[in-house]
Amino acid sequence: MSSAQTGTSRFRRSALLGAVVATALGGGAILAACGTGGGTGGGANAQGGASTGPARLSVADSYIPLPPAGGMAAGYLTVRNDGGQDQLLKVTSPAAESVTMHRSTASTMEQVDSLDVPAHGALQLARGGNHLMIMGWQKAPSLGDELELDLTFAKSGTISVKVPVKELTYRPGQS
Ligand SMILES: [Cu+2]
């Protein structure tokens, strides 16, 4: 977990967090709990029979909306699964100090320790839903950059993807 960052730097970031994410996600009121919590991952998807067998994962539609002035960014992608159930346990990046997983609920969002990848289904990280929060850039990202994210799964190990930086308003399916 994020042992390297404690105390004052973390505190200062959370002051910035509201404004930046409000811009990125297009709504401010839901952000009060962003960055707090933890330990509540998994659970929601406990189906029985279909979850056996090896997972067969692929990552698609990944992008990072350009963060203002190198500030905190969101990250979105889809993990497709043609096999048995798996879990996303951790995301890191050589380009950033901290990547956390967040889950959106009806009225708020919270940091989680894992996200389920259902058998023969997909884990979607998308605007308004589950997402990644990326902060502490080594170098401020620019449009067109491709940033590495390393996704670690319970059964499938680590999958590295190159994620393009897109305009703030980009949505998958646009060119
Ligand atoms: Cu969040």
> What separation in Å is there between the alpha carbon of 104 and the centre of ligand 1?
7
Q: What is the pLDDT of residue 173?
A: 81
Give Cα 148 distance to the centre of its chain.
13
Q: Is the pLDDT of residue 6 over 80?
A: no
> What separation in Å is there between the alpha carbon of 35 and the centre of ligand 1?
6
The residue that leads in pLDDT, 95 or 28, is 95
> What separation in Å is there between the alpha carbon of 154 and the centre of ligand 1?
22
Contacts of 45 (CB under 8 A, 6+ apart): 85, 116, 118
Per-residue pLDDT reduced to its tens digit, 67-110? 988 899 999 999 999 999 999 999 999 999 999 999 988 888 89
Residue with tokens 């692929």: 58
> What separation in Å is there between the alpha carbon of 133 and the centre of ligand 1?
6
> What separation in Å is there between the alpha carbon of 103 and the centre of ligand 1?
7
The residue that leads in pLDDT, 36 or 127, is 127
> What separation in Å is there between the alpha carbon of 34 and the centre of ligand 1?
5
What mean pLDDT comes out for the span 45-73?
82
Q: How confident is the model at residue 125 (pLDDT cuts 50, 70, 90)?
A: very high
Backbone angles phi, psi at 42, to 5 degrees: 70, -160
Name the β-bridge partners of 45: none
Rounded-to-integer distance, Cα 111 and Cα 122, Å: 20
Decide if 20 contacts 131 (C-beta within 8 A): no
Q: What is the pLDDT of residue 175?
A: 55
What mean pLDDT comes out for the span 44-53?
54
> What separation in Å is there between the alpha carbon of 51 and the centre of ligand 1?
28
151's tokens: 């996704």
Q: How confident is the model at residue 174 (pLDDT cuts 50, 70, 90)?
A: low
> What separation in Å is there between the alpha carbon of 148 and the centre of ligand 1?
20
